[in-house]
Amino acid sequence: MFFSSRVAIGQVVLANLSLLNLVGGRYLRESDVGKNYSFPDNFVFGVSTAAFQIEGAWNEGGKGESIWDTLLHENVNFTNDRSNGDVAADSYHKYMEDIDMIKNLGLGYYRTSISWSRILPNGTDANINKEGVLYYRRFFKELLKADIIPIITLYHWDIPTALMKLGGWCNAKLVDYFEDYARVVFHLFGDLIKNWITMNEIHQHCIGGYDSNFYAPALSSSGFGVYLCFHYMLLAHARAYRLYEKHFRQYQRGKVGIVLDNNWFAPKDPKSREDQEAAERYRQMHVGVIAHPIFSDTGDYPAIVRSIIDDMSRKQGFSRSRLPYFTKEEVEALRGSADFVGLNHYTTFLASASSMEEGWQLPSLDHDTGVKLEKDPSWPKSGVPWLTVHPPGLREIIKYFTKNYGRKKPIFITENGLADNGELEDYDRISYFNEYLYQVLLAIHEDGCNVQGYFAWSLMDDFEWNDGYLVKFGLYHVDFNSPNRTRTPKLSTKSYANIARTRRIDFNYLKPPKNHHHYED
Ligand code: GBH
């Protein structure tokens, strides 16, 4: 066994990287490959996208504006390529092609999201946009006709601009408005949709949009807005879950879960006590803060998060903590408010303690956390700086989640994928999927974790938020220069389809040619 559960992952990487085959199967030994584990019968394979990143049609069919529409129209330089989501991959018009693509991959599951302002143009249920409702009903019915089960996210970062004017997730009232939105959506689509996700990555959304300004709504309310955002998004999630439980589940018989971002944070020096503590502090401030209120037995924010922010607030002269408190009823509403968990995982960071770094605001989540993140220079790079390839991190985060929150709630890997330069012969993506999926097999077969599915990010090249269209995650290439937004399969479609079909990983399938260049070459 290459990755024994007894060894800290940092050690393994440093000690073994040089021994490994550099072309494909980088993280494996021959003896591991020989085990030929397969994915259990109940394991599902799918692909993920999100409404704003592919749909386009920003003002068609009665849709209202979302914060991303508004922000990108008002700040044309916000994205690195001065682009916006007005057309994106035009999936609003081309969803039949998308369905064909999923079929060609041989997959039975598609995770995507509903645009809140396409259903409720002003954010509230006073005005339901019939055309938007009919659009999604047509689309969902076509998916089902093609034997593809939709997993639908209610909120993938595109709050209606009308609600942002009230302060967005800084305003407690949003909890009510999200519940109203959820009620409309459960009511109108619940006969077709049996798998709901309330929120995508509360944590990234609040960091990017509220603690700093690289995502909409770009509030830069460091150390304040970010915690209100966590708090009210968590409560809004719980409201939607309890609503479904009370009024819809007995008729619709569906499931409701939530998606968390779960990169892995390893101690920079695995032997250093300080680095170990820094890594764990980072995990609690970034993973635990969202996961603990929902998935732990005790509920509420993790004690360490509570005390870090309370203490720092006091030291800074605040007479109350910058992290709001839940009432007892709220703790109970949140506790256990998910039938499953989705983990989005892309990469691993190395953590070490630091009280201040250049670029940190005061106060801020970074400063409260007191941890500096770095990359191991030996890890293969990708098309974006934050994503370096370290497959064992996926197994580690699955184990960590299981250790902290038990194995009762099934885990789905709801996003995992590699950014490159958009080449059609995407050998790096092929080995990324092979190697990360192999870690999922290890988590299932060697660690006994309850992982029941995997969704690749992404079905196609898309609008990658602040990176615009420059960053390519797709299994399918999209020609953003063509009005047709022509889709072309990349080589990785073949290998991913092969994994889903055989329910095994064949590291010899579509091995890169000898002259293939990886990013680090
Ligand atoms: C996911 O979020 C999203 O759910 C999805 O919509 C998105 O397209 C996908 O990832 C791929 O990006 O280290 O300061 O440079 C992941 C979001 C991306 C947020 C990287 C933090 C790095 C900021 N993360 N980003 S920095």
Q: Is 245 a residue of the active site? A: no
> pLDDT tens, 386-420?
999 999 999 999 999 999 999 999 999 999 999 99
Q: Looking at ligand 1, which atom is closest to the CA of residue 464? A: 8
Q: Is the pLDDT of residue 1 over 80?
A: no
Whether 510 is covered by a domain: the verdict is no
> pLDDT tens, 36-78?
899 999 999 999 999 999 999 999 999 999 999 999 999 999 9
Closest CA to 381 of 414, 346, 425: 346
Query: What pLDDT band is residue 491 in, cutting at 50, 70 and 90?
Result: very high
> pLDDT tens, 419-447?
999 999 999 999 999 999 999 999 999 99
Whether 515 is covered by a domain: the verdict is no
- CATH of residue 348: 3.20.20.80
Which residue do the tokens 């170990």 mark?
Answer: 276
What's the 3-state SS for 479-510? Answer: CCCCCCCCEEECCHHHHHHHHHHHCECCCCCC
Whether 235 is covered by a domain: the verdict is yes
Ligand 1 touching residue 305 (CB < 6 A): no
Out of 201, 330, 396, 464, which one is annotated catalytic? 201
Whether 488 is covered by a domain: the verdict is yes
Q: Which structural domain range is residue 444 located in?
A: 11-502
Residue 345 CA to ligand 1 center (angstroms) comes to 10
Q: Is 201 a residue of the active site? A: yes
Contact 113, 485 (CB under 8 A): no
Q: If you take atom 6 of ligand 1, which residue's CA is the nearest one?
A: 50
Segment holding 331, helix H or strand E: helix 328-334
Beta strands 476-478 and 109-113, pairing class: unpaired
Q: Looking at ligand 1, which atom is closest to the CA of residue 386? A: 13
Ligand 1 touching residue 200 (CB < 6 A): yes
Q: Is the pLDDT of residue 12 over 70?
A: no
Ligand 1 touching residue 55 (CB < 6 A): no
Out of 55, 65, 415, 464, which one is annotated catalytic? 415
Which residue do the tokens 């050998």 mark?
Answer: 427
Closest CA to 449 of 457, 439, 459: 439
Q: Is the pLDDT of residue 16 over 90?
A: no
Q: Is the pLDDT of residue 187 over 60?
A: yes
Ligand 1 touching residue 325 (CB < 6 A): no
Whether 445 is covered by a domain: the verdict is yes
Average pLDDT, the chain: 94
Output the CA–CA distances (angstroms, integers) from residue 351 to 208, 223, 281, 364, in the order listed: 20, 20, 9, 18
Output the CA–CA distances (angstroms, integers) from residue 43 to 74, 381, 434, 437, 500, in the order listed: 44, 29, 16, 12, 10
Q: If you take atom 26 of ligand 1, which residue's CA is the nearest one?
A: 386
Whether 280 is covered by a domain: the verdict is yes
Helices (runs of H) and strands (runs of E) counted in the chain = 20, 13
How many domains does the chain contain in total? 1
Distance between first and last Cα of the chain: 28
